Each structure stands twice: as structure tokens, then as C-alpha cells.
């Protein structure tokens, strides 16, 4: 192959690669990427020193690496992929509120669910990674309580809604006393649910390569966010049916403790262990629902989906046992916070970023966009193997 032919091949590959939608590893074909990479390597001698050529080789190599990882995950059954547990009360009530969309002046950030319940977030933001943290912690807690086994039967903490209201009042009074200098203000005979883990476990469970600094920042961010929510709970007298505790005060999911276990000579901490205490009202509601088996399985393959697909799946499919869901376009838009008023663009966005990825990942078996009484309606069927623990 002469130089002219090499340049022509290079330009063709560049044009085709640039035309692939982002993220490219989700839209590229594995075999096609291998062929393109081999062609680029064969014309290397003619394009040495060409920055665009080297950037293209690097881009295709990275795409191939991600495709190869995704392909290996696809070959595994979901039972063989690391799974965490996603608690339903959190998924039913919390709407993502990322920092890029809000400012400190917006606090408390508010939204409405079920057309009547007001939810609020203060002292922080909430995004996809915070959901994943809570899923990692939920699985770790149940495995700890069951001594490396998930529970076989539901065991709610609370007797009824009245007992939750009493705890919330007691916690609020004790917090007020502590703020006024009474450090010993505690609730006696109260069991505190706690877990501890190191960063090796956390990286494996969340499926990310993170530095010790980044792990601490993510856990701290998750622990500091405070919510006031109409929280769905399963209590002992509800016979497996959910009831709503409408929180009166803001509460966090957990209190965070840490210990430095490896520090460089320059003072940079390289490894830590963490203790999570679910000692808050929201923390106990979270644990109550986990112990009540009010949760669903999510795995590392799920975490590689586009953010809108994960948010949609948590909000609409992990919160019930129905195989079929009929959703109005307006309901989806409100839950995901889309601002685009153009319905054609919205449907295209939902199809591309949510429905197709979920179907490709085998989390739904079917979807169809049709007309409903309130405009466009989306019909979705989930697979039988995507269900609660």
C-alpha cells in the first residue's frame, strides 16, 4: 500500500469513527472496531507524527477496551456479576438533583411526587453516584446482618407508623439538646445498625477505579445530603403493604466515620477504612425497608448504562413488580426533569438514551410508543429475571 492509499484509508476510518454517536462504545460494533484498528496499524509507517492519526488510534483503542469489557459482562449471567441492592423507598421519592443544575441559593431543592407530596433536599446535591453508594451500602449491610447471606424472610424494624413518628420526635429533641451543649443526649435501648469496610471492597462493589481521596469525597457527599420526604415503608402491621411516613424534619441517610490506614511520607492518605452508622431517622427507614425485602437487585452491568436509563429504571421499574408499565410522556418528563418542550425531541431522547439501552441490556423485553388519553404513551415490558432479591 502506497502513501496515497494509506491516507485515503485513514480519512475514511476517521470519517466513519467520528460519525458514531457518543458514548462510542455503546454504539460501535466490536468486529468493525477490530478491523479499523488493524487497518490503522498497517498504515502506521505512512502517518508517523500525524497527531490526528495518533488521536484516532488512541480513541479506537479505548473504545475497543470498553467494548471488550462489555462483551465479557454480556457473556456472564447476571447471577455471576457482582450485584448490589437498590431500596425502593429511595427510588420512589428521590429525584436526582445534580450540582450543575442547582446553586446554593436554590436550597432547599423541592419537587412533588404523586401529584401531592412535597419532597425537599438541603445541605448537598444528589446524582447517579449517590444512588450507587446507597446500593453498595445496602447490600453490604444485609450481608453483614445475615453473616454473608441475604435474609430469606422480611423482618421490619418498626411496628407501625406511630413508632416511626415517636422515633423522629425523640431524635429531633436529642439533636436540639446536643446542639445546646448536652453531648450525652442519646436514646437508650436503641439498636444502631452499622457496617465497616475498606476501599478494596468499595471499589469492587461499585465497579470503579477510584482514589482514596475520591472515595472519601463521594461517601462524605452522600452522608451530608439531608432530605425531608414522604417515605414509603413496610412496617410489621402493614402485612407487606407499603405505608407512607411523611417526614417532619430533615434527615441524612447515615453518619460517616473513617480511619487512615496508609499514609505517604508527604502526608497524602492512600488508604482508609470506613464505618457507616445508620443512626438517623432516614437511615433507619432505609434499613427497615432493606430488612423488609423492599428492594431490588442491580449489578455492575447496570451501572454502565447511560444515566437517563439508570434513573428511569430505578424510578419506574425497580419500584414495583408489574411486568408491564404504561407511562404518559408527561409523567416521564416530570420524573427525569427534562426541560425540552418539543415532544418530538423528547421522544427521540427517551428512545435513544433510555429505551434502547435498557432493551440492549436485557432489562426490558419490549417497548412501544403509542397514543394515549393524555397524549403520547410508552408501553414497557420488563423481563422475568429482573426482579427483587
User: Higher-confidence residue: 150 or 292?
Assistant: 292
Residues 6+ positions from 270 with CB-CB distance below 8 Å: 212, 262, 263, 264
Which domain-ending residue is among 75, 93, 121? Answer: 75
Q: Binning pLDDT at 50, 70 and 90, where does residue 187 land?
A: low
User: Are 145 and 180 contained in the same domain?
Assistant: yes
Same domain, 176 and 273: yes
Q: Are 366 and 350 in contact (CB under 8 A)?
A: no
68-91: pLDDT as tens digits:
765 555 544 555 567 899 999 999
**105 and 209 fall within a common domain:** yes
pLDDT digits (tens, 9 = 90+) for 35-46: 888 889 888 888
Do 162 and 290 lie in a common domain? yes
- Tell me, yes or no, whether 69 and 114 share the same domain: no
Q: 240 and 259 share a domain?
A: yes
Write down which residue in 46, 75, 104 finishes a domain.
Answer: 75
Q: Do residues 217 and 256 make contact, with C-beta atoms less than 8 angstroms apart?
A: no
- The 10s digit of each residue's pLDDT in 134-177 is 999 999 999 999 887 888 889 999 999 999 999 999 998 888 87
Same domain? For 297 and 379 the reply is: no
Edge to edge, the sheet with strand 226-228 lists 109-113, 117-122, 226-228
Q: Which domain holds residue 15?
A: 3-75
pLDDT at 389: 43
- Pair (66, 120) in one structural domain: no
**Domain identity same for 65 and 94:** no
Average pLDDT over residues 324-348: 84
What CATH code is carried by the domain that includes residue 310? Answer: 1.10.10
In the chain, the number of structural domains is 3
37 and 102 fall within a common domain: no
Q: Which of 21, 51, 75 is the last residue of a domain?
A: 75
Same domain, 256 and 116: yes
What's the pLDDT band for 66 if we cut at 50, 70, 90? confident
The pTM score is 0.76
Ranges assigned E (strand) in 236-305: 243-246, 255-263, 269-277, 295-299
Cα 317 to Cα 20: distance, rounded to the nearest angstrom: 29
Query: What pLDDT is attached to residue 376?
Result: 84
Q: Which of 20-24, 233-237, 271-275, 350-354 has the lowest mean pLDDT?
A: 20-24
Amino acid at each position: 500500500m502506497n502513501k496515497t492509499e494509506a491516507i485515503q484509508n485513514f480519512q475514511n476510518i476517521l470519517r466513519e469513527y467520528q460519525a458514531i454517536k457518543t458514548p462510542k462504545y455503546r454504539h460501535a460494533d466490536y468486529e468493525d472496531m477490530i478491523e479499523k484498528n488493524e487497518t490503522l496499524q498497517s498504515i502506521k509507517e505512512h502517518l508517523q507524527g500525524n497527531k490526528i492519526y495518533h488521536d484516532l488510534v488512541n480513541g479506537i483503542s479505548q473504545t475497543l477496551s470498553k467494548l471488550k469489557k462489555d462483551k465479557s459482562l454480556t457473556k456472564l449471567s447476571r447471577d455471576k456479576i457482582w450485584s448490589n441492592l437498590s431500596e425502593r423507598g429511595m427510588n420512589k421519592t428521590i429525584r436526582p438533583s445534580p450540582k450543575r443544575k442547582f446553586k446554593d441559593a436554590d436550597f432547599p431543592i423541592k419537587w412533588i411526587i404523586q401529584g401531592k407530596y412535597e419532597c425537599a433536599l438541603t445541605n448537598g446535591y444528589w446524582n447517579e453516584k449517590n444512588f450507587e453508594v446507597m446500593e453498595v451500602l445496602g447490600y453490604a449491610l444485609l450481608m453483614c446482618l445475615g453473616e454473608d447471606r441475604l435474609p430469606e424472610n422480611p423482618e421490619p424494624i418498626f411496628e407501625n407508623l406511630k413508632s416511626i413518628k415517636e422515633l423522629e420526635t425523640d431524635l429531633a429533641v436529642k439533636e436540639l439538646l446536643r446542639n445546646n451543649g448536652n453531648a450525652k443526649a442519646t436514646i437508650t435501648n436503641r439498636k444502631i445498625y452499622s457496617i465497616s469496610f475498606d476501599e478494596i471492597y468499595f471499589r469492587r462493589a461499585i465497579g470503579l477505579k477510584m482514589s482514596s481521596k475520591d472515595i472519601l469525597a463521594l461517601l462524605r457527599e452522600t452522608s451530608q445530603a439531608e432530605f425531608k420526604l414522604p417515605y414509603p415503608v413496610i412496617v410489621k402491621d402493614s402485612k407487606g403493604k407499603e405505608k407512607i411516613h411523611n417526614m417532619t424534619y430533615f434527615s441524612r441517610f447515615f453518619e460517616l466515620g473513617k480511619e487512615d490506614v496508609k499514609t505517604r511520607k508527604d502526608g497524602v492518605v492512600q488508604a482508609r477504612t470506613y464505618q457507616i452508622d445508620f443512626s438517623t431517622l432516614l437511615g433507619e427507614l432505609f434499613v427497615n425497608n432493606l430488612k423488609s425485602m423492599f428492594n431490588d437487585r442491580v449489578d455492575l452491568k447496570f451501572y454502565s448504562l447511560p444515566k437517563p436509563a439508570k434513573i428511569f429504571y430505578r424510578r419506574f421499574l425497580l419500584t414495583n413488580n408489574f411486568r408491564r408499565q404504561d407511562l404518559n410522556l408527561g409523567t416521564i418528563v416530570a420524573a427525569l426533569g427534562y426541560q425540552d418542550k418539543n415532544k418530538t425531541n423528547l421522544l427521540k431522547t427517551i428512545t435513544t438514551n433510555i429505551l434502547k439501552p435498557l432493551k440492549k441490556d436485557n432489562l426490558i423485553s419490549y417497548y412501544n410508543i403509542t397514543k394515549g388519553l393524555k397524549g403520547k404513551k410508552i408501553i414497557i415490558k420488563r423481563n422475568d429475571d429482573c426482579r427483587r432479591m
